[in-house]
Amino acid sequence: MILELIDGYPKYMMESIKIVEEKRERNMSKAIKPMSLKDREEILRKYHPDYMEGTRREVRVGVDKGKVFYEGIVDLLEAKPVVNPDDVDLSTVDYDVDLLIIGGGGAGTVAALFAYESGVPRDRILIVTKLRHGDANSMMAQGGIQAADRPEDSPVLHYLDIYGGGHFTNKPELARALALDAPLIIKWHEELGVMYDRMENGEFQELSGGGTCRNRLHSCKDYSGMEIMRNIRDRARNLEIPVLEFCPIVELLMDDKGQVAGGIAFNLETYEYYVIRAKATILATGGSGRLHLANYPTTNHYGATGDGLVMAYHVGANLIDLDTIQIHPTGDAYPEPIVGILSTEKIRGLGAIPVNANGDPFVFPLEPRDVESAALIRECREGRGIVTPTGMPGVWLDTPMIEIIHGEGTIAEKLAGELRKFNRFGIDMTKHPILVYPTLHYQNGGVEINEKTETRIPGLFAAGEVTGGVHGKNRLMGNSLLDYNVFGRRAGIYAAKYIKKAKTGKLTLDHLKKYNKMLEQAGIKTEKTAPILLPEYRGEMAISRSLDIL
């Protein structure tokens, strides 16, 4: 059974494409209208994982006992701490620093730079990261970063967009910080050397996006996240800020005064642990897409396994808004190598319409992300999608429409990255549609912080995707790159202030013993441990025959 491909697609998919082509002219002339609020509610309730039964449950242990979070996150919170406190000797301190930063992505690197600017000497800072410095979702963001800097715009409007986009559930002080700090972040990027897309007079080319009332998206071609991350990482490298790579922190350390006082690092290659004592600790571990909540594929980085949520919860920090996830309507469903990877919202912005296997449109193309996703899921559940040879469902996004509407060459000019991606697999998106299905994109909630990035535990600060409150129950596009810059900066500044007065007591891991006891009292018997650090993608056969000998 060798699959013969025609222009990159198996024969049966090509037959469906033929129907799409036949109906294209009709589909372009007769647009589907947006849904009423009532219809939106109904489709969300039936098809969006945030509203469906069986995706979430109450957590039975810890500070948020009784709160409802996604199953995959509750599983981690109800697992045993991965470190047995009796295995660790705290009398020898391997690294003694002022500031421990957990995570080498955007938030962690920005925090390090601003802690340094705020007077913490570089050799008193330590960034500890699970993979390489810069391996993070920050590197992957394509679209851009919001900042209200045009005369037609204002931080007040940006605030209103953030708050409304979050269904009015955001912490107002955090939304204010995000909107008001945005222009100064762009200025800082200019000084670092970020190559933003500009007009000839030097003003930024600013785009609009779902949920923004003004065009305020600053971008660097298709590689906005990469360009910003390359610049801040280069700055950190030139300053020689110490970075420990491939050494995730696996648990936080506390002291006898109830403060967070560093962490236990685990060398992924030698299996050694290191005791790191710090006056202040910034949690910047990012998101959790690799947990595949509600069984979704994900756009996220390999290391996005929610470690920070678990470690913070073990010391008593609270979590918010983890009953929602952001699924993006147009993840790739075919070919297999790119399943879950994003196809940008801009494709629909340029006029491409989602159609089912019969070539029929079924939804207004630019509904809010959650509604659009729900409509795609419904179409596939009810059997009007295409199933790929590897079992992935999907619907067509009719990209050739873009060339018909805006003229030949538009895709090459406006969607060069997307064109390159599909060309690798012999698919020409200017001639044939692409297959899409919703994909897990962003962890809306997380560890609760205030506008100084403090958690409820002294000595523990947090910034970036690991935190909750900034975006409430839904994040707007262009606000995550902004989030890690605004709150990474604040974390560096406020941690530096805290360090000046901090006095660390005797180190302890008693909080883990206490957590184990709480699990026992809640009647939770489990062999699972957390944080998990890496997802498990090995073949079933290989795992089933693996022996633990070495």
Looking at residues 230 to 269 of the shown chain, list those that interact with other proteins (rule: CB under 8 A): 230-231, 234-235, 237-238, 240, 246, 268-269
Asked if 204 is part of the footprint of other proteins (rule: CB under 8 A), the reply reads yes
Interaction residues for other proteins, span 270-299 (CB under 8 A): 299
Q: Could you tell me the CA-to-CA distances from 203 to 151, 190, 357 in Å, in that order? A: 11, 12, 44
CB nearer other proteins, residue 93 or residue 419: 419
Nearest partner of 78 among 64, 63, 60, 66, judged by Cα: 60
Q: Does 195 bind other proteins (CB under 8 A)?
A: yes
Please list every residue from 506 through 535 that binds other proteins, using CB under 8 A: 534
Smallest gap from Cβ 118 to other proteins, in A, equals 18
Stretch of 92-100, 252-260, 496-504, 537-545 lying at the interface with other proteins (CB under 8 A): 537-545
In angstroms, the CA 136 to CA 225 distance is 10
**Which residues of 239-378 form beta strands (DSSP E)?**
243-244, 249-255, 260-266, 273-283, 319-320, 326-332, 354-355
Does residue 156 touch other proteins according to CB under 8 A?
A: yes
- The interface region with other proteins, picked from 78-86, 220-228, 313-321, 457-465 by CB under 8 A, is 220-228
Q: Which tokens is 136 given?
A: 């993070």
Q: Indicate whether 478 belongs to the interface with other proteins (CB under 8 A).
A: yes
Among the listed residues 348, 432, 441, 471, the single catalytic one is: 348
Catalytic residue among 48, 233, 328, 490: 328
Query: Residues 307, 266: contact at Cβ < 8 Å?
Result: no
Concerning whether 406 is annotated as a catalytic residue, the answer is: no
For other proteins, the binding residues in 452-471 under the rule CB under 8 A are none
Quick note: the x/- pattern for other proteins over 99-138, rule CB under 8 A, is --------------------------------xx-xx-x-
Helix or strand (DSSP H, E) at 493? helix 480-501
Angle between helices 369-381 and 37-47 (to 10 degrees): 60
Per CB under 8 A, the segment of 309-317, 417-425, 444-452, 454-462 that binds other proteins is: 417-425
Residue span binding other proteins (CB under 8 A) among the ranges 228-236, 316-324, 493-501, 516-524:
228-236
Is 167 one of the catalytic residues? no
313 half-sphere exposure, CB direction, 13 A CA radius: 32
User: Phi/psi at 132 (nearest 5 deg)?
Assistant: -90, 160
Q: Residue 428, interface with other proteins (CB under 8 A)?
A: no
Pairwise CA distance, residues 286 & 298, whole Å: 14
Q: Under the criterion CB under 8 A, does residue 179 sit at the interface with other proteins?
A: yes
Smallest separation (angstroms) from other proteins to the CB of 91 = 29
- The residue within the footprint of other proteins, chosen from 66, 391, 523, 539 (CB under 8 A), is 539
Query: Applying CB under 8 A, which part among 12-20, 187-195, 309-317, 372-380 lies near other proteins?
Result: 187-195
Q: Which residues pair with 217 in a beta bridge?
A: 146, 207
The Cα-based distances of 273 to 96, 105, 281, 466, 492 in angstroms read 14, 22, 18, 24, 26
* Rounded-to-integer distance, Cα 470 and Cα 448, Å: 9
What is the full DSSP assignment across 117-141? HTT--GGGEEEE-SSSTT-SGGGT-
Q: If binding is defined by CB under 8 A, does position 61 make contact with other proteins?
A: no
Q: Which residues are catalytic?
A: 328, 348
